[in-house]
Chains A and B, each alone.
Chain A
Amino acid sequence: MRRRFGIGFWLAVGWVGVVLLAALLADLLPLYRYDETLAGPPQTGPSWSHPLGTDGLGRDVLSRIVYGARVSLGVGVGAVLLGLLIGAPLGILAGYRRRAADAIIMAVNDVALAFPALVFALAVVAFAGASLRNVLIVLAVLGVPAWVRLIRGATLSFAEREFVLAARVLGTRDRRILWREIVPNVAMPAASYAFIGMAVVVVAEGSLAFLGLSVQAPTPTWGGLINEGRTLMETAPHVVLVPSVVMFLTVLSFNLVGDRLRALTDVRESGLEPVRQVTVSPMPVAEHQVRDTLLQAEDVRTHFATPRGLVKAVDGVSFTLERGRTLAIVGESGSGKSMLIRSILGLLPGSAVRGGKVYLSGDDLTARTPAEMRSVLGPRLGTVFQDPMTALNPVRTIGTQVTEPLRVHRGLGRKEAHAEAVRLLASVGIADPVRMLRRYPHQLSGGMRQRVTIAMALSCGPDVLFADEPTTALDVTIQDQVLRLLHQLREEHHMAVVLVSHDLSVVARWADEVIVMYAGKVVERGPAAEVFRRPRMPYTQALLQAAPRLSDPVHHRLREIPGRPPDLVDLPPGCSFRPRCAYAQDRCGQEAPPLVGVALANGAPVNGSGHQYACWYPRPIETAIAEGAESSGR
């Protein structure tokens, strides 16, 4: 827990706690009375009897700060809680009930938000009289619209989640849904906002007090103390400094606590853990020779240092790829397919550490700086990702986005670029390219957007096209069109394609070569037809038999792989697949099996393009043929 929040959070909590306790227990503490004049010599600095000195009238500053905290914190906490008490039910009502309730509440709320807040506060306090109660009420009311908006937003986002729908399907009554399903989820953002709100209110009360519009003397408040001390700035600066510092620290602490709480809710939701930068020693690259081929990856590694441990997302992947071929990378979610591609392209998140070498026509890409990569990405390496929206800028037209690389990389003029863009869009099967160029991404369907990103990836005539799950977000009929298109373009442009997919039937149909990944490692590879017909590694085989096929009989029992992919920070020793493997023996838990060629079964690793697998006890070819043929249906 401590680790998750960080030391700053606990210091902040500690400070708020101390101030709060002091304020609550002020009467029990061995303090001077806050209004006792000449408790000590006036305007003296810190001493044993007056740890924070005395003010102009000889009153004890420590005592005045502690009693001042009663007002400042009282107003801060009180106003926020009161605002929450009024705002939360309204926000929840608006967010959960929607329609009329929402429309009315939000209309009123918007008007309220438009009020010049502080002016309003000044006016009311000036009119109704400056008392603790009035200040508290005014500041609370001022906070209500923000509360309504926040709580409504949070409620809305949860009311649309399927677990709320599920609760209604169960027959849960509305009231219980609100209390059980929605309120607990809204509570965390509300708590974080409450702390930030307290900081705001403490400052606001300070300002009012400074202007003499808060609680009246002799009751001390922090703002009032600062105001009084102002005149003594030259002779006794501590009188103004001490309350200022105390107020500053308190406001800072509130903000810090609020921020950390908010970060916590965000983390919970994304499931991502904040990454601490840990220095990882550079990874040595195994000795290798640079081949005369289009793309060569040698021992590519991608590691992340996470709070839980080192994640080896990609752990030593090598391959070569020629023009006119399609290499497919398959594996389950989290097996490292995307990270492999990103490593090759040098498009890793900042927290990643990369190892290994990547050569494009013999040219070492890993030696390039990000700036130098830019002349390769696009012109020579094209990319298409799963979600076309991430590749397209939502606020710019398709036209500007398609023509830009043409003008930057190919130096075309405006007119030429436009003509070329029209040609490109037509080549990816877009019916009315001229009109398409004027549209915005959100006006297109998913399939059309993906065609546009393919057109963009092709615009500079790349040598290799990287497609990471290019059709996963698309409908089957569209998916087929897009894959067909990719294949056809590969032929026309004489490029190589790296296709990442979790869909085995797609890979079986469109790839020449295939790499099967499991927990960051290559477990089997080779010509696609061969690997699919005669899988040797138990995981590949099980994966093939787990996928339903149209040719299977109805109610056909699929092969179930027990368990789930391993946690990358806690890999089993030896073969990563061992806990799920039906054929595991002792050796599997002791040594990781190397990638060996089918031809050379003597255990020596083979380089090259043959069929290779990483397994100590591969499935015999005979049964592999039988089971594999039955399972792949090819």
Chain B
Amino acid sequence: MAGSGKSHLRPRDEVLLRVEDLVVEFPAGRGRTVRAVSGVSFDLARGETLGIVGESGCGKSSAARALVQLPPPRSGSVRLDGQELTALRGEALRRTRRQLQMIFQDPISSLNPRRRVREIVGEGPRVWNLPGDRVDEVLEAVGLDPATAAVRRPHEFSGGQCQRISIARALILDPEVVICDEPVSALDVSVQAQILGLLEDLKARYRLTLVFIAHDLAVVKNVSDRIMVMYLGKVCELAPSADLISRPAHPYTRALIASIPDGGLDLPPSDTLISGEPPSPVDPPSGCRFRTRCPRARERCAAEEPQIRQVGADHWLACHYPALPDVEPPVQPAI
């Protein structure tokens, strides 16, 4: 969050995936630590798509990988259908993998160049000793012709087709949740539209729950029911997609929207909303992590980390001085 807190989480029995206080850190050499994700909480209801946006290095991918425990988070809880994943190791963890699949950004490097498409897509069933007869079905579902595609190797396909193969590989295990980490960022506009359409179709057909990560707010808005905005390892704002775009309250969300040409909102130009560059996650600012670039920052922002609070119907925010006229700054906690 620029801030922390868990008040935005829904009751446990309503959600499929619940992530609390997720912390991911990496050693940065000379005894220092990269604070990639610092206390992020969110949840997903069954059948929902949660979009996560933020700039590069804000911890989107680290959070995604922590969800699948590769590597496991430094601390925090990831609960899938009531089962705590962070407590599991080895075989017990492996057994949960069918439910949680992932799609990666680089379509080329996510496929083994030496294997044929049939083997790549059939790997899941083989690992799980399931019948491999669904390969053709999922290949067809992602828009590839099984007869010609299955015997070829990845380098014979374009980026968009490789991404389809990755999706087929994830789908064949009938996962509950699919985490898509920038699945369309490497693709051309026309192919991107194809893949976004495909994801929506598959979501309906296989009753999927999606986490959709991207840096492009317009893409995220297109597919997500709710959007979570991240900055430097913290949550800024979380709201239903339409609401987040039409009533952005966090100064960073507003800057993101304003920096998109054709944002469709009457915001001041983005350079009056944001300046400079993100600080290093090795040495994040005190208080609100956005304060070094925030035009609304005041002393309190350096001293105290804003907590997530509700500012509208399912609209959550971590900021002391948000940009919504109808939102009052929260009362200072009495100490």
Binding site for B on A (CB under 8 A): 161-163, 165-173, 176, 180-181, 184-185, 268-269, 271, 332-333, 431, 445, 447-448, 475-481, 484, 502, 504-506, 508-510, 542-543, 546-562, 564-565, 632-634
Interface centre among A162, A271, A505 (most CB of B within 10 A): A162
Q: Give every chain B residue within 8 A of A548 (Cβ-Cβ).
A: 192-193, 196, 216, 218-219, 221-222
* Residues A555 and B166 in contact in the complex (CB < 8 Å), given A170-B173, A268-B155, A477-B55: no
**Could you write out 13 A-B pairs with CB less than 8 Å apart?**
A163-B110, A166-B104, A170-B97, A445-B277, A476-B259, A505-B260, A505-B261, A542-B190, A547-B218, A550-B218, A554-B225, A564-B158, A564-B191
Distance from A580 Cβ to chain B, minimum over Cβ atoms (Å) = 8
B271 pairs with A484, CB closer than 8 A: yes
- Cα distance A269–B114 in the bound complex, in angstroms: 11
- Cα distance A555–B225 in the bound complex, in angstroms: 8
B221 pairs with A173, CB closer than 8 A: no
- Cα distance A632–B262 in the bound complex, in angstroms: 8
Is B188 part of the contact surface with A, judged by Cβ < 8 Å? yes
A551 pairs with B271, CB closer than 8 A: no
Binding site for A on B (CB under 8 A): 55-56, 65, 68, 70, 94-95, 97-98, 100-102, 104-106, 109-115, 123-124, 127-128, 155, 158, 160-161, 166, 169-170, 173, 188-194, 196-197, 200, 215-219, 221-225, 241-242, 245, 255-265, 269-271, 274, 276-278
B221 pairs with A550, CB closer than 8 A: yes
Q: Give every chain A residue within 8 A of B264 (Cβ-Cβ).
A: 549-551, 633
Distance from A190 Cβ to chain B, minimum over Cβ atoms (Å) = 13
B190 pairs with A480, CB closer than 8 A: no
B193 pairs with A546, CB closer than 8 A: yes
A506 touches which one: B124, B166, B261 (CB < 8 A)?
B261
Q: Give every chain A residue within 8 A of B188 (Cβ-Cβ).
A: 332-333, 502, 565
A508 pairs with B197, CB closer than 8 A: no
* Residues A180 and B115 in contact in the complex (CB < 8 Å), given A172-B127, A549-B262: yes
- Cα distance A201–B31 in the bound complex, in angstroms: 45
- Cα distance A633–B94 in the bound complex, in angstroms: 47
A555 pairs with B109, CB closer than 8 A: no
A543 pairs with B106, CB closer than 8 A: no
Q: Give every chain B residue within 8 A of A447 (Cβ-Cβ).
A: 277
- Cα distance A505–B258 in the bound complex, in angstroms: 12
A551 pairs with B193, CB closer than 8 A: no
A163 pairs with B109, CB closer than 8 A: yes
* Residues A163 and B111 in contact in the complex (CB < 8 Å), given A171-B127, A173-B127, A508-B262: yes
A173 pairs with B112, CB closer than 8 A: no
With contacts defined as CB atoms under 8 Å apart, how many contacts are there between chain A and chain B in the complex?
188
Identity of the chain A residue whose Cβ is nearest the Cβ of B226 in the assembled complex: A554
Identity of the chain A residue whose Cβ is nearest the Cβ of B57 in the assembled complex: A475
Interface centre among A271, A510, A550 (most CB of B within 10 A): A550
Q: Give every chain A residue within 8 A of B97 (Cβ-Cβ).
A: 169-171
B115 pairs with A170, CB closer than 8 A: no
Identity of the chain A residue whose Cβ is nearest the Cβ of B106 in the assembled complex: A162
B263 pairs with A169, CB closer than 8 A: no
Distance from A126 Cβ to chain B, minimum over Cβ atoms (Å) = 45
B217 pairs with A550, CB closer than 8 A: yes
A551 pairs with B262, CB closer than 8 A: yes
B112 pairs with A163, CB closer than 8 A: yes
- Cα distance A634–B264 in the bound complex, in angstroms: 8
A504 touches which one: B104, B189, B245 (CB < 8 A)?
B189
Q: Give every chain B residue within 8 A of A551 (Cβ-Cβ).
A: 262-264
Identity of the chain B residue whose Cβ is nearest the Cβ of A504 in the assembled complex: B189
B104 pairs with A165, CB closer than 8 A: yes
A169 pairs with B190, CB closer than 8 A: no
Q: Give every chain B residue within 8 A of A547 (Cβ-Cβ).
A: 189, 193, 218
* Residues A552 and B221 in contact in the complex (CB < 8 Å), given A163-B109, A169-B102: yes
Identity of the chain B residue whose Cβ is nearest the Cβ of A170 in the assembled complex: B124
A554 touches which one: B94, B170, B216, B221 (CB < 8 A)?
B221
- Cα distance A475–B256 in the bound complex, in angstroms: 10
* Residues A552 and B274 in contact in the complex (CB < 8 Å), given A476-B217, A559-B193: no
B274 pairs with A477, CB closer than 8 A: yes
B193 pairs with A558, CB closer than 8 A: yes
Interface centre among A170, A478, A480 (most CB of B within 10 A): A170
Identity of the chain B residue whose Cβ is nearest the Cβ of A330 in the assembled complex: B189
A561 pairs with B114, CB closer than 8 A: no
B271 pairs with A550, CB closer than 8 A: no
B262 touches which one: A172, A480, A550 (CB < 8 A)?
A550
A550 touches which one: B110, B263, B270 (CB < 8 A)?
B263
Q: Give every chain A residue within 8 A of B218 (Cβ-Cβ).
A: 505, 547-550, 552
Q: Give every chain B residue within 8 A of A479 (Cβ-Cβ).
A: 259
- Cα distance A333–B188 in the bound complex, in angstroms: 7
B110 pairs with A162, CB closer than 8 A: yes
* Residues A170 and B193 in contact in the complex (CB < 8 Å), given A163-B111, A163-B112: no
